[in-house]
Amino acid sequence: MTDAALGPSVRREAGYGGAMLDLLVRAGRLPSGKTPVDIAIKNGRISEISPRIDATAGRVIDAGGRLVAPPFADPHFHMDATLSLGLPRLNRSGTLLEGIALWGELKPLLTVEAVMERALRYCDLAVSQGLLAIRTHVDVCDDKLTAVQALLQVKKQVASYIDLQLVAFPQDGLFRDPTAHTNLLRALEMGVDVVGGIPHFERTMQAGTDSVRTLCEIAEKRGLQVDLHCDESDDPFSRHIETLAAETVRLGLQGRVVGSHCTSMHSMDNYYASKLIPLIAEAQLHIVPNPLINITLQGRSDTYPKRRGMTRVPELRAAGVNVAFGQDCTMDPWYPLGSADMLEVANMGIHAAPMTSREAMSWAFTSVTANGYLAMGLPDPTLRVGGPASMIILQARDPIEAVRMRATRLTVIREGRVLAETAPRLAQLSLPGRPKELDPADYAPIAEG
């Protein structure tokens, strides 16, 4: 895809009073749209969406009938640990607990500069992948709060191109770690946005319950959101999500609370789950499963069958709960892979759920776009007239094809500014009697309904 020259069909129209657009995206297919539309952009906002817009523009980008969608959101990440794979050693067992221990070995060695350097490199990658909203947990179990200092600076530095939210995360337990509570409050004072926690890692179930109550009260007093690592465990009796739902209702925090992971729900008794899920819906909790990580960290102490540990996505959806997939990790003590690719996350979510209806696969795309924004308390990113001109053009024609192909992000635009461009993936073929060039997305049918 290249800039289209301002050809004879592009001319000034009275509707724009002769004013030039900043950017015009031609022939883009919206996630819900059957036919391509033009998108006019002026002063960072979408000024018109129509089948054909005749106006001059500072730049015209021909989307060529490909998908134009809101940027991706990742509502669950650990930017303080990202790209640290192998520091100071690799996770041999592949378990969550060895990952926490390994991170504990690395923490005293961290410097503000090193954390910033890794985080900024990750942010570059994220932008290239069209990922422009990230909620990262930041470990506060460190009296120097090195990672907090670093990520607060990163947040400032990337503010013009990434919505970066920080969660004060007591990785070693709010009560299990002697200074975590104090440090969590210090981090919030320093400007960290969201209250985090890890009730299943406290010493006892009761301590976990108490931590949920304490953390929700902190959030209520300060008017903040809550995002807890909740029941990231194969233990079917890890039921802190129940307390989180109850505390949310008690304190009037509905809509402002996220339960992340919730993997124990995978192993729970069906009867209990049938009571729990309506309580989650009643509390308007957002649920953030992290498919890549959940299916690789959970079930590690099983023989066969090995549980895969992802929470009950179809059932939560059916109850009306906002479910947004998160990435959690990229090349860190818990996960050796990852590439800031939310389409990979959605693709894995479809497999792990499992859910392969056209409706559910299309929903998976929404779960890594609009649903993530909703979970993070950010404005709806749906592309609409008057809304911010933040969008990505993908080498695919519809959301399902994008997830299936993990489509190349051809153009990434934030408030009318082009942030990143990648050439389409095209194979040059040398086969007898066959086409010379293959666009891997070209032969797929357009999704129906």
Which residues here bind Fe ion, judged by CB under 5 A? 328
Residue closer to Fe ion, measured from CB, 242 or 328: 328
55, 13 contact by CB (below 8 A): yes
The β-bridge partners of 169 are: 139
Helix (H) / strand (E) element for 404: namely helix 399-405
The β-bridge partners of 24 are: 40, 60
Residue 301 CB partners (closer than 8 Å, separation 6+):
234
The β-bridge partners of 165 are: 135
Catalytic hit among 232, 242, 247, 344 = 232
Residue closer to Fe ion, measured from CB, 313 or 410: 313
Q: How, if at all, do strands 322-323 and 391-394 pair?
A: unpaired
Q: Which value, in Å, is the radius of gyration of the alpha carbons in the chain?
A: 23
Q: Which two tokens stand for residue 144?
A: 């120097």
Residue 36 CB partners (closer than 8 Å, separation 6+):
27, 28, 29, 51, 63, 65
DSSP 8-state symbol, 109: G
Residue closer to Fe ion, measured from CB, 31 or 199: 199
Q: Which two tokens stand for residue 48?
A: 């018109």
3-class SS of residue 51: coil
Q: How far is the CB of 45 from Fe ion (least distance, A)?
A: 34
Residue closer to Fe ion, measured from CB, 198 or 400: 198
Residue closer to Fe ion, measured from CB, 24 or 297: 297
Catalytic site residue 247?
A: no
Instruction: Count CB atoms within 10 A of the CB of residue 306.
Output: 12
Query: On the CB side of 65, how many CA atoms lie within 13 Å of its CA?
Result: 6
Task: Catalogue the active-site residues.
Answer: 232
